[in-house]
């Protein structure tokens, strides 16, 4: 059978029309599905409202537990946790313009210095911690290390240790504070510089990134928070209060050391002074769901709720704490803060 040119052209035209109709139907279906999806109350999983929390890596374990408990009580909310170094978390907000509902920092001053006043208006101090030397049973000389020789063992050539980046993570600059305080406490001139020059290849963005290196035997020790060691079942050495940054009464001693770290803008540097370890929490100014954020923080800070989890995880409460942003606090959160500074408060 002969097929003419007109027949071929007619077939091609019909095919194009059919494809066009099919494409139009697909577009209509996509549009219809998008409309249905947008009818949810928060765009989250199953119509739930997504509550996004940026937080320090050292808060991962307690916040995961809290999120599960909070969602049981508030099934319309889907809590999304995003861990990073506290300073990196703050820069996601201040430099990258990322939205989140809650920002929880391992150092309350990160919020004060990088977010207030442009990206947040208040800050509540809520928990403490302390620096330790973390290891495992296979670590070099782990059966000998103690509070009198740890600094000499870590400086040995066949021993490797890790720490986090001071410009990304408070644990990083707190490790430097511990090194410098140890130099004075043990009377070892040049000790801090020796630490800072050794094992630079094992510096990581946040403290919890180092655990895999320890457990795989790549490194022997970590400058790490006591709470993280407890949460992960790791061995740790308790350091003297003069150097562990865990004693509020030692604030004057801790304040004698400092480190230079990056500031709010690229190329800008600030001097960070040593201080007791205190966590802080806030709601950024651009939070999509501030009411739910306030509800979650109230849960976090309540003694028999979130703070019970924090205490179980080795991060004891410091509530109520003084804040110079008291007047800016949401009314329902003021009971967790103090408007005036007691004698032993930061």
| Structural domains present in the chain | 45-129+277-338 (3.40.190.10), 131-272 (3.40.190.10)
Sheet with 278-282: strands ordered across:
77-84, 49-56, 102-105, 278-282, 124-128
- pLDDT tens, position by position, 271-325: 999 999 999 999 999 999 999 999 999 999 999 999 999 999 999 999 999 999 9
3-state helix, strand, coil in the chain (%, to 5): 45, 20, 35
Instruction: Specify which residues 272 forms β-bridges with.
Output: 259
pLDDT of amino acid 41: 44
Q: Is 90 exceeded by the pLDDT of residue 99? A: yes
| H-state helical runs in the chain | 5-38, 60-73, 86-94, 108-114, 150-154, 170-185, 191-197, 211-215, 226-231, 251-254, 290-301, 306-312
Alpha carbon distance 12, 3 (integer Å): 13
- Which tokens go with 267? 């190329």
pTM attached to this predicted model = 0.80
Q: Is 60 exceeded by the pLDDT of residue 73? A: yes
Instruction: Specify which residues 77 forms β-bridges with.
Output: 49
Alpha carbon distance 257, 176 (integer Å): 9
- pLDDT tens, position by position, 27-69: 444 344 433 333 334 455 568 999 999 999 999 999 999 999 9
Alpha carbon distance 246, 61 (integer Å): 20
Alpha carbon distance 297, 66 (integer Å): 11
């Amino acid at each position: 059978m002969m097929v003419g040119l007109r027949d071929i052209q007619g077939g091609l035209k019909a095919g194009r029309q059919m494809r066009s109709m099919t494409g139009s139907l697909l577009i209509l279906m996509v549009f219809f599905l998008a409309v249905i999806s947008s009818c949810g109350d928060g765009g989250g999983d199953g119509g739930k409202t997504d509550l996004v929390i940026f937080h320090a890596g050292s808060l991962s374990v307690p916040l995961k537990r809290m999120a599960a408990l909070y969602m049981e009580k508030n099934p319309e909310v889907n809590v999304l946790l995003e861990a990073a170094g506290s300073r990196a978390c703050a820069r996601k907000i201040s430099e990258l313009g990322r939205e989140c509902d809650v920002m929880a920092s391992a150092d309350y001053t990160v919020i004060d210095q990088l977010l207030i006043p442009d990206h947040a208006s208040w800050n509540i101090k809520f928990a403490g911690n302390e620096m330790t030397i973390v290891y495992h049973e296979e670590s070099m000389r782990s059966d000998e290390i103690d509070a009198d020789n740890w600094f000499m063992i870590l400086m040995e050539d066949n021993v490797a240790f890790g720490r986090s980046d001071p410009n990304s993570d408070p644990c990083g600059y707190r490790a430097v504070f511990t090194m410098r305080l140890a130099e004075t406490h043990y009377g070892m001139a040049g000790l801090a510089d020796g630490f800072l020059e050794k094992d630079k290849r094992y510096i990581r963005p946040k403290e919890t990134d180092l655990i895999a290196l320890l457990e795989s035997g790549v490194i022997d020790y970590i400058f790490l928070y006591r709470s993280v060691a407890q949460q992960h079942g790791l061995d740790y050495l308790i350091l003297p209060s003069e150097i562990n940054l865990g004693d509020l009464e030692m604030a004057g001693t801790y304040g004698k050391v400092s480190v230079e770290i990056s500031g709010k803008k690229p190329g800008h540097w600030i001097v960070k002074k040593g201080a007791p370890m205190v966590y802080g929490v806030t709601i950024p100014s651009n939070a999509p769901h501030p009411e739910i954020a306030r509800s979650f923080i109230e849960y976090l800070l309540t003694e028999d709720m979130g703070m019970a989890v924090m205490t179980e995880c080795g991060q004891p409460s410091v509530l109520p704490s003084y804040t110079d942003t008291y007047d800016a606090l949401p009314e329902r959160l003021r009971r967790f803060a103090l408007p005036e500074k007691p004698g032993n408060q930061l």
